[in-house]
Amino acid sequence: MPKVFLSPSTQEWNKYAGKGNEEQWMNLLADKMEPYLLSSGIEFTRNDPARNVTGAIEDSNGGEYDVHLALHTNAGGGQYAGMLRGIDIYYSPYSEWSRQLAIIIANNFEPVYPIPSKVNTVPTTSLAEVTRTKTVAVLCELGYHDNPEDEKWIKENLDTIARTMVISLCDYFGIPFVEAGPVRTGIVATDGSNLNLRSFPSLNASIIARMPNGSSLNVYGEVNGWYVVKFGDLIGYASTDYISLNR
């Protein structure tokens, strides 16, 4: 299953126009994303907020991830302080996958952000979280936190922003987005045979593991007759016909 390195800002010194700071609100955004990531079958690791951007890059490069996703908000600064609005999705001009992911995210944010024409994709050769990560990476500047209108939009739409980010990841990975719900537990209930854990909700999808009858599972979501489940350290899809949910 897809695995994402989720890297919310560690810049607590970037104060919002009203209350709070960039690190605080981007970590709150990451918190909101977690249930959607789990329900949609996307594994993730979050950066250590005690480490700076160099540490986040080192940790990302030290693992095996499909996407490095950096979450930030912007600031006009200087003569433009408080005057600018918009969303900028930064990508590597040397990676077609990075560009495609940025386009997907921008397209999904256009109907969500109040000024669709100000949602942009931007190539960068200088932002380290895009240029120095070994996997596909994008950095999302999700509005201008020194602009009171953008700050208000971010704070009042945190769940919508989180949902849109995960929808975009699902679009990129080619897997169904599954609405978040309560995490349930279940047991494999077959005639005694193993139950296949698959990489996609289809009988034609590759088999990740074979789960013995009676195995305990965490159930994160459901889509078209398949549960999104965690078996051991693996996340995948298994038929709802052979899983008994605990009440």
Instruction: Read off the pLDDT of residues 22-58 as tens digits, 9 standing for 90 and up.
Output: 999 999 999 999 999 999 999 999 999 999 999 999 9
DSSP, res 5 = E
* Per-residue confidence (pLDDT) for residue 114, from 0 to 100: 98
53 in Cβ contact with 179 (< 8 Å) = no
pLDDT-based confidence at residue 184 (cuts at 50, 70, 90): very high
pLDDT of residue 235 exceeding 80 = yes
Among residues 112, 111, 108, 133, which one has the least CA distance to residue 121? Answer: 108
User: What is the chain's mean pLDDT, rounded?
Assistant: 96
Among residues 60, 69, 81, which one has the least CA distance to residue 14? Answer: 81
Measured on CA atoms in the order 56, 58, 64, 65, is the torsion positive or negative? positive
Average pLDDT over residues 160-181: 97
* Per-residue confidence (pLDDT) for residue 77, from 0 to 100: 83
Q: Choose between 32 and 247: higher pLDDT.
A: 32
Domain-wise residue ranges, the chain: 3-173, 184-245
pLDDT of residue 170 exceeding 90 = yes
CATH class of 184-245: mainly beta
3-state secondary structure of 59: helix
pLDDT-based confidence at residue 208 (cuts at 50, 70, 90): very high
* Per-residue confidence (pLDDT) for residue 1, from 0 to 100: 85
Query: Could you report the per-residue pLDDT of 125-154, keeping only the tens digit for each?
Result: 999 999 999 999 999 999 999 999 999 999
Query: Could you report the per-residue pLDDT of 67-117, keeping only the tens digit for each?
Result: 999 999 999 988 898 899 999 999 999 999 999 999 999 999 999 999 999
Spatial separation of the C-alpha atoms in residues 150 and 138, rounded to whole Å: 21
> What would the CATH number be for the domain defined by 3-173?
3.40.630.40
